[in-house]
Amino acid sequence: METNTHHRTLGRSGITVSALGFGCWAVGGEWRTADGEPLGWGVVDDDESVRAVRRAVDLGVTFFDTADAYGAGHSERLLGRALGKRRDDVVVATKWGNTFDESSRTALGPDDSLAYARRALTASLRRLDTDHIDLYQLHISEADPEQGARLRDLCEEFVREGLVRAYAWSTDDPGRAAVFADGPHCAAVQHRLNVLQDAPELLALCEAADLASINRSPLAMGLLTGKHRAGRVLEAGDIRSTPPAWLPGFTAGAGPDPEWLRRVEALRDVLTSDGRTLTQGALGWLWARSPRTIPIPGFRTVAQAEENAGAIAKGPLTAGQLAEIDAILGR
């Protein structure tokens, strides 16, 4: 597989992408559970989001990851609008499996049926204004493995039909990821990975099965940007204000967890070495952790897009810096 400072290959697919991708959850805007709990990152300015996507492309970012559920369809629509005639210059990944109502921006629950997968793909193609998805990902982390195998086989049909180039499972479970890895056109696993939350078993699977490691939450839901302080109140429409069980590092009504912030501060000097921002150092750790990693930090503004993209030129941390971080974290 191709690996260098600026580009990586999506596993066995042969698809080349920038070493840094951009995650499009936040630009989807506000959406909620049926009970009214936030699932987005708060209010966004769509015009600024479009400018940020286009600026990222100008800076060499060629991989964009979204999901049909983000903003209840809005993220896909916005990405399609932002890319426009530059669609073929980039690699687009999206996900399916969580149903929603676009009009009310409400999540309705998972659906792992084969029939829904095909309907979801058709709808994503329409929203993204494209005739194919480069990487199609199952978005139900804990789906039944046997059903996962059937969905994997369906993804192979999508590939044969020319609707999808490659596919992946977005899951933190190595066993489930291995089910998809058995498919010839499986190219990646999307999973949580950041300097505070390592995932050695999933990285080992990626190495053994020749898959890319697409890293969601590469900045620990914003904690590794250095912008959070203990007691900081988050806006009501931000998922981190009332975090679900799978989102550590934040406490409902109390903001960022002080212990997580303490660990970030302990790492600050190493991560900001060589002229990096804290964000850029956290991304550099991911590239140094494995030659298969492709972090996908979120963004909402042109300034965030520029800072994230600026990490590419800085490249990975050194082996010595990795060892120093391990020593600080006691692992």
β-strands 91-96, 133-138: how paired? parallel
Quickly name the fold that domain 7-222+277-316 has: TIM Barrel (3.20.20)
What residue type is 157 in one-letter code?
A: E
> At residue 280, what are phi and psi to the nearest 5 degrees?
-65, -35
Inform me whether the pLDDT recorded for 233 exceeds 90: no
What per-residue string of b and e applies to 177-198 under the rule 16 or more CB within 10 Å gives b?
bbbbbebebbbbbbbbbbbbeb
Q: What is residue 151's predicted lDDT score, i.e. its pLDDT?
A: 98
For residue 163, how many other CB atoms are within 10 A of its CB? 19
Write out pLDDT tens, residues 109-125: 999 999 999 999 999 99
- C-beta of residue 183 within 8 angstroms of C-beta of residue 154: no
Quick check: 169 pLDDT over 70? yes
Q: What percentage of the chain reaches a pLDDT higher than 90? A: 89
Q: What percent of the chain has pLDDT over 70?
A: 98
CA-CA distance, 303 to 260, in Å (whole number)?
25
pLDDT at 190 over 90: yes
Count of residues in the chain: 331
Average pLDDT over residues 263-283: 97
The helix (H) or strand (E) run that includes residue 24 is none
- Is the pLDDT at 328 greater than 60, yes or no? yes
Contact (Cβ atoms closer than 8 angstroms) between residue 212 and residue 8: yes
Q: Could you tell me the pLDDT band of residue 231, with boundaries at 50, 70 and 90?
A: low
Please report the pLDDT score of residue 168 as a whole number.
98
CA distance 284 to 272: 10
pLDDT at 1: 43
The pLDDT value recorded for residue 253 is 77
How many angstroms separate the first and last alpha carbons of the chain?
Answer: 29
* CB neighbours of residue 288 within 10 Å: 18
pLDDT number for residue 242: 87
Of 233 and 74, more confident: 74
Q: Is the pLDDT of residue 213 over 90?
A: yes
Q: Tell me how far the alpha carbon of residue 233 is from its chain's centroid.
A: 25
Label residue 173 by pLDDT band (50, 70, 90): very high
What does the mean pLDDT of the chain come to?
A: 95
Sorted by where each begins, the domain ranges of the chain are 7-222+277-316
> Token digits for 35?
């009970």
Residue 4 has pLDDT above 90, yes or no: no
- The model's pTM is 0.96
d(CA 197, CA 113): 32
CA distance 154 to 151: 5
